[in-house]
Chains A and B, each alone.
Chain A
């Protein structure tokens, strides 16, 4: 149990970066961007190809992020300059990326990375000498864990990376450009009347969003030890699920809080998924339908609860009125 929860958190926090990207497009820009399914794989593919060709894993990861950024830019250009509707722009880009990703991967739908040096392995040697793993694992065992993870380095690196990404995102959304970006999603007419070039803001915003998605894809590939051409299918639903679950549970009062909520949402999503897969008749092939059900649940439940609360409140008022009538 401890081990599977540990894995869920570990994976969840890598996907959290992708969820932040989806938050930027869907929520901040109010742009339902489906590029994500493609740009996630682009990130993994670029990182994998670079690493296999001897580029340092850190540089490879940065290049992957840039590739995602450019993909997002193109979706933005399709929408703003080509005047193509947002959904369709994303779908077109996603479809095109499928072939482009295959090209990047040199025509093979899967690139293994198991024997390569990844960002996680890079710091792994140094890490294993510190003895932190043994210490943490002995604590975990003392708490009753049967199986323990072989290393905590991935979790450790990912916490740091995700916090940095969150802080950069928070900062960016508070800058003058960031404010204009948020207003573009909130009231485009207004921010244009305040001399903001909304076309460019959308292009940059979608770039930022897909850059994060690709970064997440690059890290997932390095953690999994391979990149697969089809690994991006349904990514947008996972991202949305994380955003919606996070917002529903932790609220969205301020930007700082919402970005944290999205990260936690991504982790909770993984935990719920892990628990669901423990159910007898479900297997990993059912993951996508579980994801879809989770999104539906997170969307419907808050409204359902609100309706019931409202009904109760009105019923109470009616009863009070009846009581008064009887008393009089």
Chain B
């Protein structure tokens, strides 16, 4: 479903601030894969998401979605296939517009926008049904401005907006990070449900290791712009936080040994 080949991104090339954000990334996701992504700050996780969504062009490498090369497709065209939830609850919704208007905009994602009324009676019913699945009572507040919602409610709405058109790929970048623990848990639970329901091919960045272990069928760990660990299936099921940390130290430790050998 998603194919990344030899992707590299370097920021500020040729200056003292040069930063290799992604180095030779190769990643293939099958239809229905739910991959959790962990890694320290600055590892390149968000950059990877941006390369997939098209808001960041790779220096080299190709991005394929469903066997279609989309590398040169601008973000707004690519987003027909991609649902996205950002870390900032403010980022995924239009605050001065109502819940139903926001949903109507998301509904039009994979269609051509025309001079038809966006919020029709029929669509309202549909929106209510979808909102019902969130169990937040938002279905009774269709006309409320989204700016009045709490961060958790907004994030739940963003999640719904990103998923209910059943995109080919769902990108979640620390989408629970700005929420309090109980809200984060709710959104995590909703994420599991919605990905299951629509069988979405999903890539989820998180700093919460437990979350990364609980969700999905595959886990990748990134560091310094590279994928340093990729586990799936039974191997992932048996992973624990201790094992992950141990693994990280082992891989990076080995690398340091190598570096030392080269320098020495």
Contacts and interface: CB of A to CB of B under 8 A. Distances in A.
Binding partners A and B: yes
A238 to B, nearest CB: 25
Chain B interface bracket (under 10, 10 to 19, 20 to 34, 35 or more):
20 to 34
B132 to A, nearest CB: 22
A192 B94 contact: no
Nearest to A191: B105
A194 B105 contact: yes
Interface string A190-206: 11111111100000000
Interface of B: 53, 55, 75-80, 82, 84, 86, 90-97, 101, 104-106, 108-110, 113-119, 161
Contacts of B114: 175-177
A112 interface: no
Contacts, number: 86
Contacts of A194: 79, 105-106, 108-109, 161
A175 B119 CA distance: 8
Nearest to A199: B76
B91 A196 contact: no
Contacts of B80: 195
Given A180-B108, A192-B79, A175 B91 contact: no
Given A177-B113, A177-B115, A192 B104 contact: no
Contacts of A172: 115
Contacts of B95: 186-187
Chain A interface bracket (under 10, 10 to 19, 20 to 34, 35 or more):
20 to 34
B77 A186 contact: no
Nearest to A27: B96
Given A192-B75, A193-B75, A195-B77, A183 B118 contact: no
Nearest to B102: A183
A309 to B, nearest CB: 21
B76 A195 contact: yes
B106 to A, nearest CB: 6
Interface of A: 171-172, 174-180, 182-183, 186-187, 189-198
Contacts of B94: 182-183, 186-187, 190-191
A14 to B, nearest CB: 27
A186 B96 contact: yes
B152 to A, nearest CB: 18
B85 to A, nearest CB: 9
Nearest to B108: A176
B104 A189 contact: no
16 contacts: A176-B105, A176-B114, A178-B118, A179-B97, A182-B101, A187-B93, A187-B94, A189-B91, A190-B92, A190-B93, A193-B82, A193-B84, A194-B79, A194-B161, A195-B76, A197-B77
A193 B53 CA distance: 8
A174 B115 CA distance: 9
B41 to A, nearest CB: 22
